[in-house]
Structure 1
Amino acid sequence: MSAPLPAPTGQPHYTVVRGLRTHAWVRGDGPPLVIVPGLGCASWMYVRLARELSRTRRVYVYDPPGHGDSEGTPEYPRTIRDLTDHLAAWLEASGLRCAPLLGHSLGGEVIFDLAARYPSCTTALIAVAPTGIPENPNVPAQLFRLARDLPRERLGLLAPGLRAYGRAGPVRMLRLATDQRRHNTGPLLSRVRVPTLLIDGDRDPVIRAWTVREIRREIPESVVRVVPGGTHAVTDTFPKTIAASALEFLKWVEGPAASPIGEFEQSSCEIRSN
């Protein structure tokens, strides 16, 4: 089967995956990079980050099934594994196998799962404020933490966020949030064998710093960057900072002679918030 034609830049890109019309917004030119949104989030919530990344990359902001402008069904997706399996099929159908992935919040957990279960689907991971083992709080605790985080976020994200959550719907979001307690990524993290950048905001009440440190301990080739003042939606509040760190990391990963991850950590400059 011939490879799909490259998606035109600056417009929506639709691919039928497992019978569902799946959307991604495409922006920029250069090597591909795929953004995977968090729970209930949609492609339009990552416009500021995509704009920065697209200066040197062709950025695909993917909408998971039932999120954003992608089709879902009342019964699908039910689990995080459903999200992972769909993402793997979409990458293959879109000609993006081996592309690096940037996942935010639950999107980080999804890309960990994908790298462990579909090791040929990506070459690098960037997980921003990622959920996942060893911390899977119950749903009331997650809602409490999100309520604490909301006043810290940029006011301009409120309307796009409410639109995205309305599109995903409370039933789907509750079902996926509940599945986090059953989705045991603990054994999977040690099977992630690609270079991984973990980005943590030091004002994020949703994802605790010790959680990110534990994820780093489990993933062999991983490094942590902390964004001063970063909230849970740090992709929106500090898009230039996240983009600069991500692009620096990818430049190292894709260089002609990449050194061990520890050397990247030692050679990188401290993150400064934009």
Structure 2
Amino acid sequence: MNRDVVDRPTGSPRRTSVGRFGPADLRLAMAAPRPAGGLTSEWRLVDGLRTHTRRSADPVNGAPPVVLVHGLAVSHRYLTPLAVALSSTHQVYVPDLPGFGLSAHPRGAYDVRRHAEHLAAWLAAYQLPPVCLLGHSFGAEVAAALAATHPDAVRALVLAGPTSDPAARSRRAQFGRWLVDIPREAPLQAPILVRDVWNARPWRVLATLSHSVRNAIEADLVQVGVPTVVVTGDRDPVVPHLWRNKATRLVPAATVVVVPGAAHNVVTTAPTAVADAIRHLLAPRPTSTDR
């Protein structure tokens, strides 16, 4: 990557290339709970809820673990390509948030804060060291809240396609942007979305969307104190460039990566580019004694 661009908190975004999502990716994404692609499933009781996690094998290089947090209406499934792309160098965990994927259903739909607290309890249950935390879409709201309220648990933060833009902070506006995004996405992602909405139930999806548009993510972004990268596709109508740039400026130590050709689900269709951004974020920086 061009460090003159990526290492600056502000300025021109780093641009990289997009991948694809094909039949083999779909089969891998839908495999859980069966082992596939080096990923396995396990469940742990977290705050009284049986919580599912898709995870990779433990690497032997001592690299920090990476935790991937899914977005609204979906689950670990669409993050599988990124988990596989990272698994050669990092221990990767992809938990299903309460009520989504293969995790148990709580009585109601959790808001951002409650999801963040559940995720903090999940980290404690796994006894992980400070992690690199990636949140996509609504998951970026949860990740930002966790990084702001539990800074000791987070080593680095990746906000991929973070919602919700204050210029479209209503259910109707967000839904309208998603409708624009759908034809820009790889068609084979559709079976994943159908399966995930069925698992979560439509009422939970709508209730969580209501929580999302009432969440002022800006208040959390300004409290993030760890190295951060904001990743978006350049064809993402849910996170247009004005909001992407504003979100990046709000975080004291943030850079931006833009993936040409990718839409909102950049973590699914461009997993190699996103994995490279994570590895760059976690790469050791030279100290004054190294120069």
> Shorter-chain TM-score category?
0.7 to 0.9
Where does 1:58-77 land on structure 2 (aligned, <5 Å)? 58-77=91-110
Stretches of structure 2 that go unaligned for 5 or more consecutive residues are 1-34
- Structure 2 residue 185 is matched with structure 1 residue 153: yes
Change beyond 3 A, Cα 1:229–1:95: same
Once the two structures are superposed, residues 14-67 of structure 1 have per-residue CA deviations (whole angstroms, 9 ceiling, x without a partner) of 111111010110114333110000011111111111111111111111110001
Alignment partner, residue 48 of structure 2: 19
Give the deviation of 1:226 after TM superposition.
0.7
Alignment match of 1:47 (pick from 63, 66, 80)? 80
Secondary structure at the residue paired with 1:68? Answer: coil
Secondary structure at the residue paired with 2:93? Answer: strand
Give the deviation of 1:247 after TM superposition.
1.3
Alignment partner, residue 180 of structure 1: 212
- State which drifts further: 87-96 or 128-137: 128-137
Change beyond 3 A, Cα 1:220–1:256: closer
The one-letter code matched in structure 2 to 1:22 is T
Give the deviation of 1:122 after TM superposition.
0.6
Alignment match of 1:221 (pick from 247, 253, 270)? 253
- State which drifts further: 26-35 or 199-208: 26-35
Asked if the contact 2:158/2:228 (under 8 Å) is kept, the reply is: yes
The one-letter code matched in structure 2 to 1:179 is H
Where does 1:78-93 land on structure 2 (aligned, <5 Å)? 79-93=111-125
Secondary structure at the residue paired with 2:89? Answer: coil
Where does 1:128-167 land on structure 2 (aligned, <5 Å)? 128-132=160-164, 134-167=166-199
- Alignment TM-score, normalising by the size of structure 1: 0.85
Give the deviation of 1:194 after TM superposition.
0.4
Asked if the contact 1:28/1:55 (under 8 Å) is kept, the reply is: no
In 2, distance between residues paired with 1:183 and 1:111? 13
Once the two structures are superposed, residues 180-218 of structure 1 have per-residue CA deviations (whole angstroms, 9 ceiling, x without a partner) of 232223222211000001001110111111111111111
The one-letter code matched in structure 2 to 1:191 is Q
Asked if the contact 2:109/2:208 (under 8 Å) is kept, the reply is: no
Give the deviation of 1:256 after TM superposition.
6.2
Number of corresponding residues: 248
Give the deviation of 1:114 after TM superposition.
0.6
Alignment partner, residue 133 of structure 2: 101
Once the two structures are superposed, residues 58-95 of structure 1 have per-residue CA deviations (whole angstroms, 9 ceiling, x without a partner) of 11111100010111223242x11111110111011111
Secondary structure at the residue paired with 1:120? Answer: helix
Where does 1:120-131 land on structure 2 (aligned, <5 Å)? 120-131=152-163
- Percent identity of the aligned residues? 36
Alignment partner, residue 250 of structure 1: 282
Alignment partner, residue 34 of structure 1: 67
Asked if the contact 1:133/1:186 (under 8 Å) is kept, the reply is: no
Secondary structure at the residue paired with 1:213? Answer: helix
Alignment partner, residue 24 of structure 2: none
In 2, distance between residues paired with 1:154 and 1:53? 21
Stretches of structure 1 that go unaligned for 5 or more consecutive residues are 1-7, 260-274
Q: CA RMSD in A?
A: 1.8
In 1, distance between residues paired with 2:252 and 2:260? 25
In 2, distance between residues paired with 1:110 and 1:241? 22
Alignment partner, residue 225 of structure 2: 193
Secondary structure at the residue paired with 1:204? Answer: coil
Asked if the contact 2:248/2:255 (under 8 Å) is kept, the reply is: yes
In 2, distance between residues paired with 1:189 and 1:49? 24
